[in-house]
Amino acid sequence: MIRKKILLLGDFSVGKTSLIRRYIDKTFDDSYLTTIGVKISEKELTIDDVDLKLLIWDVEGATKTKKIPLAYFKGASAAIFVADVSRKDTMSSIANHIETFLEVNPNANYVIAYNKSDLLSKEEEASLILPNNSFLSSAKKDENIEILFEILAKEIVTQYKEKGR
């Protein structure tokens, strides 16, 4: 079994913990719980006959005055960058999070979750232009949660097989 570290990164209160809970436990809770430091969850799966254990790091959110400690980034194979689509500031900070992460892990894969899509009107949703590797998601409505992790898991297995390990 291979073990790989995946980070969930983004500003405070964008739904990182809710995405993980939905993926791991298949649950959703409206109450807000601030993550202090990091909380690690595990998920085992098999992809293309490869047993994989994802070590999913729920990293505390960043603010303008508090950055995410770089030590959390070390050794990560992938990341899910999370923004709250109802808060434009969290969407604009994604680029900085990606840049910082890739400085530490230049060969890592990532996807972007524009979370809380259930708060958008149909018109707002239709007007969004998302970059490649990005998905609208809703932990509340369980929309596009599996695909975020599945894409990264498949990329991890592909790299593992290419290295012949």
Domain ranges of the chain: 2-162
What one-letter code names the amino acid at 125? Answer: E
pLDDT > 90: percent of the chain: 77
Return the H-helix or E-strand segment holding 89: helix 88-92
With 0.85 as the threshold, say if the pTM is over it: yes
Give the whole-angstrom CA distance, residue 38 versus residue 35.
7
DSSP 93-131: THHHHHHHHHHH-TT-EEEEEEE-GGGS-HHHHHH--PP
Q: Which CATH architecture has domain 2-162?
A: 3-Layer(aba) Sandwich (3.40)
> What is the Cα–Cα distance from 17 to 115, expressed in whole angstroms?
11
Check: CB of residue 144 under 8 Å from CB of residue 113. yes
Q: What is the pLDDT of residue 71?
A: 86
Residues in Cβ contact with 153 at an 8 Å cutoff, skipping those fewer than 6 apart: 45, 47, 52, 54
| Dihedral class, residue 164 (left if φ above 0, else alpha if ψ from -120 to 50, else beta) | left
Q: Tell me the per-residue pLDDT of 53-92, one tens digit each, with 9 for 90 and over.
A: 999 999 888 766 677 878 889 999 999 999 999 999 999 9
Task: Convert the pLDDT of each residue in 116-137 to its tens digit.
Answer: 999 999 999 988 889 889 999 9
Strand partners, 113: 82, 135
For 12-58, write each residue's pLDDT tens digit. Answer: 999 999 999 999 999 988 776 677 768 999 999 999 999 999 999 99
